[in-house]
Amino acid sequence: MTGKQLTGKTIAFAVSKEGIEQVELTEPWEAVVQAGGTPVLVSSESGTVQAFNHLDKGDQFPVDQTFAGTSVQDDDALVLPGGVANPDALRLDQDAVAFVKGFFDAEKPVAAICHAPWTLIESGVVAGRTLTSWPSLRTDIENAGGSWKDEEVVLDGGLVTSRNPDDLPAFTTAMVALFAGGNQT
């Protein structure tokens, strides 16, 4: 996944203060860098965020921008890493929810993995879409008007989703391809 297909593009990674599944942050981040893009870590507070390796504390990462201090117009695409606590906290943050919804309103591409669709549900953007996630979110997605598939990667217009860290190779490939294509509907 080398090349410069994302050169000149800024990709926002939206995360909460803690509970981000580290590999679901770092592997997509590295894929953006390898493709020539500029990843930006966006959170509710400045400082650092705490990632986890499943239930064990992982590394901390510096926040580049806050939801309140940035605009959807500043970025070309959005990545929502998973982890159970991360999207659960994001969906309670009005600025984060508005930020995520803004990407859909602007028809900018979005990639979400694992439990991240909880934030999509809260943002009101799941109805009429087909996506995948960690299996326990299936009922939530269907109750929000979406269709759920148990597949490694699901692409629905400008949204790419995957189930879990095992899907990361396919997820990052599909994500970079989607982001390189520009706006999607």
Which residues, 6 or more positions from 13, have their beta carbon under 8 angstroms from its beta carbon?
A: 25, 28, 29, 39, 40, 41, 42, 78, 79, 80, 81
Residue 50 lies in a domain: yes
Lookup: tokens for 87: 């999207």
Lookup: tokens for 152: 């490694």
Q: Would you say residue 185 has pLDDT above 50? A: no
Instruction: Give the pLDDT of residue 183.
Output: 47
SS3 155: strand
Number of domains in the chain: 1
Q: What percent of the chain has pLDDT over 90?
A: 95
Residue 4 lies in a domain: no
Task: Give residue-wise pLDDT tens across range 23-43.
Answer: 999 999 999 999 999 999 999
Residue 55 lies in a domain: yes
Confidence of residue 142 (pLDDT cuts 50, 70, 90): very high
181 is a catalytic site residue: no
Name the one residue in this structure whose structure tokens are 């326990």: 136
Task: Give residue-wise pLDDT tens across range 80-128.
Answer: 999 999 999 999 999 999 999 999 999 999 999 999 999 999 999 999 9
CATH number of the CATH domain containing 90: 3.40.50.880
Residue 77 lies in a domain: yes
- Torsion sign (Cα): 21, 115, 130, 159: negative
Strands of the 77-80 sheet, one edge to the other: 65-66, 38-43, 10-14, 77-80, 110-113, 159-162, 153-156
Residue 5 lies in a domain: no
Catalytic residue among 9, 17, 108, 115: 115
Alpha carbons 174 and 139: distance in angstroms, whole number = 25
Instruction: Give the pLDDT of residue 182.
Output: 53
For the chain, what's the residue count? 185
Catalytic residue among 40, 114, 120, 168: 114
User: In the predicted model, what is the mean pLDDT of residues 137-143?
Assistant: 98
115 is a catalytic site residue: yes
Q: Which structural domain, as residue segments, surrounds residue 52?
A: 10-180
